[in-house]
Amino acid sequence: MVGVSVLSARGVQKSVGRGRAARRVLDGVDLEVVSGELVALLGRSGSGKSTLLHLLGGLDRPDAGSIAVAGDSLVDCSERALTRVRLRRIGFVFQSFQLVEELSGEENVLLPTRLAGAPAGGAERAQRLIDELGVEAVADHLPHELSGGEQQRFAIARALVNDPALVLADEPTGNLDSAAAADLLGLLRGLTGQGRAVVMVTHEHDVAAAADRVLEMADGRLG
């Protein structure tokens, strides 16, 4: 692989439920992603791919194994340190966009820049991203006034505003029509050209085909 390691996961395990209802969703997952690489995690609904993405993004902790982003551990650290890594190193793009309905597109992009520990220069980065993504004309609109593609562009700008090394996308084309989905995949591809690593979860083979590598989730493992 060419590039610098951005994401390293080793022996990741995760179970859900308790007692007799406990089920191991992830069973020793290994994953390495380098800068400039787009990796697709492909699998059926319930295969564990979204669970893995949440662990890779520090939204949850594994039962066993190690995960590091840009050299920072997501496992052997305090909650405060984990929050800082998420804020500075990781950007999330969700299927449902998760824009705050009461805020304009621009205000949604600015949200991560206003959190304690965010890197300086957030307002300038936000404006540049809004311009680059072509949504400056609707930056003052509320989410319900935007098309699905426009909402997704603001969601991407928000994910990038703190200049993360790793971008995680969970079923990012799920709520988009075919034209907007193709546009989004082009945007994600463009992120790798900027030296970022991108991990995308999908259940669609044609979406996964846009990636440099496609790894299929089955029986709690990636293959």
28 and 65 Cβ atoms separated by less than 8 Å: yes
Tokens linked to 32:
């390495």
Whether residue 1 is predicted with pLDDT greater than 70 in this model: the reply is no
Q: What is the mean pLDDT of residues 83-101?
A: 93
Q: Which amino acid is at 53?
A: L
Tokens linked to 82:
């984990």
Whether residue 223 is predicted with pLDDT greater than 90 in this model: the reply is no
Whether residue 77 is predicted with pLDDT greater than 60 in this model: the reply is yes
203 and 181 Cβ atoms separated by less than 8 Å: no
> Out of 49-53, 103-107, 148-152, 174-178, which region has the weakest mean confidence (pLDDT)?
174-178
Q: What is the separation, in whole angstroms, between the first and last Cα of the chain?
A: 17
Q: In what order do the strands lie in the sheet containing 197-202?
A: 90-94, 166-170, 197-202, 38-42, 213-218, 221-222
Confidence of residue 97 (pLDDT cuts 50, 70, 90): confident
- The pLDDT of residue 177 is 87
Q: What 3-state class would DSSP assign to 16?
A: strand
Confidence of residue 2 (pLDDT cuts 50, 70, 90): low
Q: Domains for the chain: give ranges and CATH numbers.
A: 5-222 (3.40.50.300)
The predicted-structure confidence for 160-205, as pLDDT tens digits, reads as follows 999 999 999 999 888 888 888 899 899 999 999 889 999 999 999 9
Q: How far apart are CA 31 and CA 5, in angstroms?
A: 11
Whether residue 83 is predicted with pLDDT greater than 60 in this model: the reply is yes
pTM of the model: 0.92
The predicted-structure confidence for 9-60, as pLDDT tens digits, reads as follows 999 999 988 888 888 999 999 999 999 999 999 988 878 898 999 999 999 9
- The pLDDT of residue 95 is 83
Average pLDDT of every residue of the chain: 93
162 and 119 Cβ atoms separated by less than 8 Å: yes
| Kind and range of the H or E run holding 11 | strand 5-16
